[in-house]
Amino acid sequence: MKNKILKLIFFLLTTIIGCDLYSQELESVIHFDGRYNKSDNAVVTYLKGKKIKDYRLSLFHSITLTQATEDIILFNTTVLNDKKHAVKIEEIYSQNKLRACYMQFDPINENSTLNRFILYKADQENAILIYMEGDTTLEQLIKIFINKN
């Protein structure tokens, strides 16, 4: 119980203070602050450069969680809050619970041409949260990462 309270307090503090990792507007990016880098139940991936240029991306950052129910609740909360800023959204619900959400956001500022994206997929114990920036569209990314056609 104490662990749950500490995680909630940490989450609320980082939400209130904000995280400039990619954008103060998107709450989901607070999860990319390094807290999962050494977690036994998380795999964190960060790609930049030539490896992702073919996908018209400049940044790919993901967190894959296994057996992490409490963290998934936090992921769900921030993803749902980010929906109000999305310019395009595709969602999948099962049994009235969000199972997947794919969102496109405007560029980080008026000087940028790079769109921002959040792809999220979860069940009760496992989740994948992906943040990307690139000169592409949500439809293209869904085709590449989800439909694979």
Q: What angle, rounded to 10 degrees, do the helices at 69-82 and 2-17 form?
A: 20
How many whole angstroms separate alpha carbon 101 and alpha carbon 138? 11
Domain range annotation of the chain: 2-147
The CATH class given to the 2-147 domain equals alpha beta
Mean of the pLDDT values across residues 60-79?
90
How many whole angstroms separate alpha carbon 127 and alpha carbon 42? 10
pLDDT tier at 146, thresholds 50, 70, 90: confident
pLDDT of residue 3: 57
Residue 8 pLDDT exceeds 60: no
Determine if residue 106 is left, alpha or beta; phi over 0 gives left, psi from -120 to 50 gives alpha, anything else beta: beta
Identify the residue whose tokens are 């439909």. 147
Alpha helix positions (H), the chain: 2-17, 50-53, 69-82, 138-141
Structure tokens at 101: 């959400």
How many whole angstroms separate alpha carbon 76 and alpha carbon 120? 9
Dump pLDDT digits (tens) for 81-99. 999 999 999 999 888 888 8
pLDDT of residue 18: 38
Identify the residue whose tokens are 């309270």. 5
pLDDT of residue 88: 95
Dump pLDDT digits (tens) for 13-33. 444 433 334 444 799 998 998
Dump pLDDT digits (tens) for 33-51. 899 999 899 999 999 988 8
